[in-house]
Structure 1
Amino acid sequence: MQGTEQNRGTKNYKTSSPEIGKSENFTGDRSVVLSKKQLKKIRKNPLISGLYITDIGFYPNAKHHYRKRILGIKEHILIYCIDGYGTIKIGETEHQLEPNTFFVIHADNAHSYWASQKDPWSIYWLHFGGERSSFFTEHFSKVNWIKQSSKSRIDDRILQFNELLTALESGFSKENINYANLSLNGLLASFFYVETYRAVKGFSVTNPVDQAIIFMQKNINSTIKIADISQHVKLSESHLNKIFRNKTGTSPMDYFINLKMQEAIRLLTNQSLKIKEVAYRLGYSDQYYFTRIFTKHIGSSPGSFSKMNMHR
Structure 2
Amino acid sequence: MDETTISDEDRIRDGFAGQRMVVVPRPVVRETLTQPVTSRLLVTDAGFFPHAARHGRSRPDGAHQHILMVCTDGSGWCRMPGGRHTVERGDAVLIPAGSAHEYAASASDPWTLWWMHVIGIDAAELVQTAHASAAGPVSHLRDPAPVASLISQTVDALDMGTAGGALRAAGAAWHALALVAANRRRVRGPEPSSVERAVEHLRATTPKRTSVEALAALVGLGVSQFSALFREHVGVPPLRYQSDLRMARARELLDTTDQPVAAIARSCGYDDALYFTRQFTRTHGLSPTAFRQRAH
TM-score tier after normalising by the smaller chain length: 0.5 to 0.7
Aligned position for 1:304:
none
Alignment of 1:1-312 (within 5 A): 13-16=1-4, 18-20=7-9, 21-91=11-81, 93-136=83-126, 137-140=128-131, 141-147=136-142, 152=143, 154-170=144-160, 172-194=161-183, 217=193, 266=216, 297-298=236-237
User: Does the aligned pair in 2 maintain the 1:28–1:270 contact within 8 Å?
Assistant: no
Runs ≥4 residues deviating over 3 A: 214-218, 262-265, 267-271
User: Does the aligned pair in 1 maintain the 2:96–2:124 contact within 8 Å?
Assistant: no
Tell me: CA distance 1:36–1:97, structure 2 relative to 1, closer, same or farther (3 Å): same
Taking only aligned residues, the RMSD between alpha carbons, in angstroms, comes to 3.6
User: Does the aligned pair in 1 maintain the 2:45–2:118 contact within 8 Å?
Assistant: yes
- CA distance in structure 2 between the aligned counterparts of 1:111 and 1:216, rounded to whole angstroms: 32
User: Does the aligned pair in 1 maintain the 2:78–2:85 contact within 8 Å?
Assistant: yes
Report SS of the residue matched to 1:181: helix
- CA distance in structure 1 between the aligned counterparts of 2:232 and 2:179, rounded to whole angstroms: 34
- CA distance in structure 2 between the aligned counterparts of 1:216 and 1:142, rounded to whole angstroms: 24
- CA distance in structure 2 between the aligned counterparts of 1:167 and 1:92, rounded to whole angstroms: 34
- Structure 2 spans left out of the alignment, 5+ residues: 185-189, 196-211, 240-296
Tell me: CA distance 1:22–1:132, structure 2 relative to 1, closer, same or farther (3 Å): same
- CA distance in structure 1 between the aligned counterparts of 2:191 and 2:164, rounded to whole angstroms: 43
- Structure 1 spans left out of the alignment, 5+ residues: 1-12, 196-213, 221-261, 283-288, 301-312
Report SS of the residue matched to 1:41: helix
Question: What do residues 131-183 of structure 1 show as CA deviations (whole Å, max 9, x unaligned)?
Answer: 22221314234211112xxxx4x43333222111111112x111111221133
User: Does the aligned pair in 2 maintain the 1:14–1:86 contact within 8 Å?
Assistant: no
- CA distance in structure 1 between the aligned counterparts of 2:66 and 2:114, rounded to whole angstroms: 14
User: Does the aligned pair in 2 maintain the 1:60–1:270 contact within 8 Å?
Assistant: no
Identity %: 24
Displacement of 1:116 in angstroms is 0.1
Report SS of the residue matched to 2:8: coil
Code of the aligned partner of 1:179: R
Code of the aligned partner of 1:139: A
Report the TM-score when normalising by structure 2: 0.61
Question: What do residues 67-121 of structure 1 show as CA deviations (whole Å, max 9, x unaligned)?
Answer: 1112111111111111110111113721111011111111111111100001000
Tell me: CA distance 1:298–1:51, structure 2 relative to 1, closer, same or farther (3 Å): same
User: Does the aligned pair in 2 maintain the 1:91–1:110 contact within 8 Å?
Assistant: yes
Tell me: CA distance 1:99–1:185, structure 2 relative to 1, closer, same or farther (3 Å): same
Q: How many residues align?
A: 211
Tell me: CA distance 1:155–1:216, structure 2 relative to 1, closer, same or farther (3 Å): closer
Tell me: CA distance 1:265–1:41, structure 2 relative to 1, closer, same or farther (3 Å): closer
- CA distance in structure 1 between the aligned counterparts of 2:75 and 2:108, rounded to whole angstroms: 8
- CA distance in structure 2 between the aligned counterparts of 1:123 and 1:181, rounded to whole angstroms: 19
- CA distance in structure 1 between the aligned counterparts of 2:13 and 2:31, rounded to whole angstroms: 28
User: Does the aligned pair in 2 maintain the 1:23–1:66 contact within 8 Å?
Assistant: yes
- CA distance in structure 2 between the aligned counterparts of 1:116 and 1:76, rounded to whole angstroms: 23
Tell me: CA distance 1:216–1:166, structure 2 relative to 1, closer, same or farther (3 Å): closer
